[in-house]
Amino acid sequence: MFDDFTDERIDVGEVELRVRHAGRGPAVLLVHGHPRTGATWHRVAPRLVDAGFTVVCPDMRGYGRSGKAAVRPDHSQQSKRAVAADLTRLMATLGHRRFAVVGHDRGAYVALRLALDHPDVVDHLVVIDGVPISEALARCDATFARDWYHWFFFAQPDTPERVINADPDAWYATAGPERMGAANHREFRQAIHDPDTVRAMLEDYRAGLGVDREHEEADRRAGHSVRCPTLFLWSTGDDMERLYGDPLAIWRPWADDLRGHPIESGHHVAEENPDDLTAALRRFLR
């Protein structure tokens, strides 16, 4: 997994980030979702390197082997703004003044925030399997509350940690090593069995319902939008269309230059259909 990639830790200020990177050419930052690590991209990243890109795969702050910031009362230490600032500093340290950012699941919210807060460094934005947090909450109905109950459960104090840490494998029952890849699956299990990582991952959701929503709503009031070309991809086996009809309609007010289409896959598209995902990224990023 990640043969010929450099694997290191880089100090970005408040935390150190574990990051893998390789390649020569236009830079692409790949941002994972919950509860994965940067290893979720192990089938996509080498293909992009072979296609002529420089690829950077960090563990976000709080996740995997990256540092955990001290918890603040408003959970802003795990806000998408804080994570986006980390990643901007990471890319600058690696020598990338401009780059594309690709985010999946919770990483999609980080990618959006990075493009909004740092428009001078992001030249392409790709978001996968997610609409802005404020848009999801504005449309929250009984179906969303039932199917996405974990958003609200994770936001509760202390109880989610106790439940998850009692049996992480049962809570995060997911595809096995055959489907995920043995090394990726091993990293995933190491992460979910670390109580500090579990706490930080929950803080991601606590920030989501508070400061992250507030930041997005402030952007809309100010008329801010993503200025760079933006691609939205969604998995056919996920629930984007069931929840939102045409999910592109939700993204249009957020991006000046938007395109998008579905990909045949379950939710973890980088693991389940890396060929079609890589092909879509290559077409868009060129």
Q: Which residues pair with 83 in a beta bridge?
A: none
Q: Decide if 267 is catalytic.
A: yes
| CA 215 to mean position of chain CA atoms | 17
Q: What is the dihedral of CA 34, 37, 42, 45, to 10 degrees?
A: 90
- Percent share of the chain, pLDDT over 70: 100
Query: According to the model, what pLDDT value does residue 235 have?
Result: 97
Query: According to the model, what pLDDT value does residue 273 have?
Result: 98
Q: What is the largest CA-CA distance in the chain?
A: 48
How confident is the prediction along the chain (286 residues), in pLDDT tens digits per residue? 999 999 999 999 999 999 999 999 999 999 999 999 999 999 999 999 999 999 999 999 999 999 999 999 999 999 999 999 999 999 999 999 999 999 999 999 999 999 999 999 999 999 999 999 999 999 999 999 999 999 999 999 999 999 999 999 999 988 899 999 999 999 999 999 999 999 999 999 999 999 999 999 999 999 999 999 999 999 999 999 999 999 999 999 999 999 999 999 999 999 999 999 999 999 999 8
Q: Which domain holds residue 229?
A: 6-285
- How far is Cα 89 from Cα 124, in angstroms, rounded to an integer? 18
Overall domain count for the chain: 1
Q: Which residues pair with 229 in a beta bridge?
A: 257
Q: Which residues pair with 10 in a beta bridge?
A: 17
Does 32 fall in a domain?
A: yes
- How far is Cα 220 from Cα 17, in angstroms, rounded to an integer? 31
Does 166 fall in a domain?
A: yes
Does 1 fall in a domain?
A: no
Q: Which residue has the tokens 């991006």?
A: 255
Residue of 42, 75, 104, 105 marked active site: 105
Residue of 32, 104, 267, 268 marked active site: 267
Q: Which residues pair with 128 in a beta bridge?
A: 104, 233
Q: Which residues pair with 27 in a beta bridge?
A: 54
Q: Which residues pair with 260 in a beta bridge?
A: 232
Going 262 to 268 to 273 to 276, the CA torsion angle's sign is: positive
Instruction: Give per-residue pLDDT as tens, 174-221.
Output: 889 999 999 999 999 999 999 999 999 999 999 999 999 999 999 999
Instruction: Give per-residue pLDDT as tens, 26-42.
Output: 999 999 999 999 999 99
Does 205 fall in a domain?
A: yes
Please list, residue by residue across 252-282, b when 16 or more beta carbons sit within 10 angstroms of its beta carbon and e when fewer do.
Answer: eebbeebebebbebebbbbbbbbeebbebbe
pTM to 2 decimal places: 0.98
Do the beta carbons of residue 175 and residue 271 sit within 8 Å? yes
Does 263 fall in a domain?
A: yes
Q: Decide if 105 is catalytic.
A: yes
The CATH number given to whatever domain includes residue 34 is: 3.40.50.1820
Instruction: Measure Cα distances from 163 to 67, 170, 214, 248 in Å.
Output: 23, 10, 28, 36
Q: Which amino acid is at 40?
A: T
